[in-house]
Amino acid sequence: MGQSQQYPAQYIVKYKAGVSAEGKAKVINEHALQKRQDLQIINAQLVSPAGSFRAQSQSSLLEEIAKDPAVEYVEPDYCLYPMGTPISQDADASLLWGLKNYGQSIDGNVGVAEVDINLEGVWQVTEGNPEVLVAIIDTGIDIRHPDLSHSIWINQGEIPDNGVDDDNNGLIDDLNGWDFVHDDKSVYDSASEDAHGTHCAGIISAAHDLLGVVGVAPGVKILPLKFMNASGGSTSDAISAIEYAARAGAKIVNCSWGGSDSSQALQDAIGGSDMIFVTAAGNVDSGESPKDIDDFPLYPASFDLDNIIAVAAVDNMGNLTSFSNYGYNSVDVAAPGKSIYSTRPDNKYGFLNGTSMATPYVSGVAALLASTGINDNALIKQRILDSAVHNPLSSLSNKILTGGMVDALEALGINLAPTASDLSISGSLYPGEVLQGKYIYHDANQDPEGNSRFEWYRADSAQQDNLIEIPGANLLQYTIKSEDIGKYLCFGLIPEASSGLTPGDLVLSDAVGPVEAGPLISLHLLDGSNDLLSDFRPEQIDYQLNIDDSLSSLALTYTGTAQSSVSVYYNQLLQTEDQISLDPEGDTISIMVQTPGIADRCYTIELYRNSIDQCFIATAAFGSKYEPAVVLLRAFRDQHLLTNNIGRSMVALYYHYSPPLAQYIADKEGLRVIVKILLTPVILAVYLILHQWLLLIIILLTFLLALRLSRIRKQRV
Which residue numbers are catalytic?
A: 138, 196, 356
Radius of gyration of the chain (CA): 47
CB atoms closer than 10 angstroms to residue 638: 15
Separation CA 285–CA 179 (nearest Å): 28
CB atoms closer than 10 angstroms to residue 208: 17
Residue 14 phi/psi, 5-degree rounding, is: -95, 125
How many residues does the structure list for the chain?
717
Separation CA 425–CA 594 (nearest Å): 23
Among candidate residues 389, 325, 397, 387, the one with its CA nearest the CA of residue 358: 325
Separation CA 364–CA 97 (nearest Å): 15
**Which whole-number Å values give the CA distances from 164 to 143, 170, 241, in the listed order?**
22, 10, 20
Residue 136 phi/psi, 5-degree rounding, is: -105, 95
Task: Output helix, strand, coil percentages for the chain, rounded to the nearest 5.
Answer: 30, 30, 45
Largest CA distance in the chain: 177
Among candidate residues 643, 652, 529, 530, the one with its CA nearest the CA of residue 582: 643
Among candidate residues 417, 434, 416, the one with its CA nearest the CA of residue 426: 434
Among candidate residues 685, 709, 710, the one with its CA nearest the CA of residue 698: 685
One-letter amino acid identity for 296? Answer: F
Beta strands 419-426 and 434-442, pairing class: antiparallel
Q: What DSSP assignment string belongs to 273-324?
A: SSSEEEEE--B--TTSPP-BTTTS--BTTTS--TTEEEEEEE-TTSPBPTTB
The 3-state DSSP class for residue 307 equals coil
Burial of 708 (0-12, 13-18, 19+ CB in 10 A): exposed
Separation CA 687–CA 701 (nearest Å): 18
Separation CA 326–CA 374 (nearest Å): 29
**Which whole-number Å values give the CA distances from 564 to 515, 520, 599, 600, 605, in the listed order?**
17, 8, 11, 10, 20
Separation CA 330–CA 116 (nearest Å): 22
Residue 580 phi/psi, 5-degree rounding, is: -120, 115
Task: Identify whether the C-beta of residue 61 lies closer than 8 Å to the C-beta of residue 33.
Answer: no
One-letter amino acid identity for 36? Answer: R
Separation CA 281–CA 259 (nearest Å): 10
- CA 579 from chain centre, in angstroms, equals 62
The 3-state DSSP class for residue 57 equals helix
Separation CA 11–CA 37 (nearest Å): 11
**Which whole-number Å values give the CA distances from 526 to 531, 602, 608, in the listed order?**
5, 20, 15
One-letter amino acid identity for 167? Answer: D
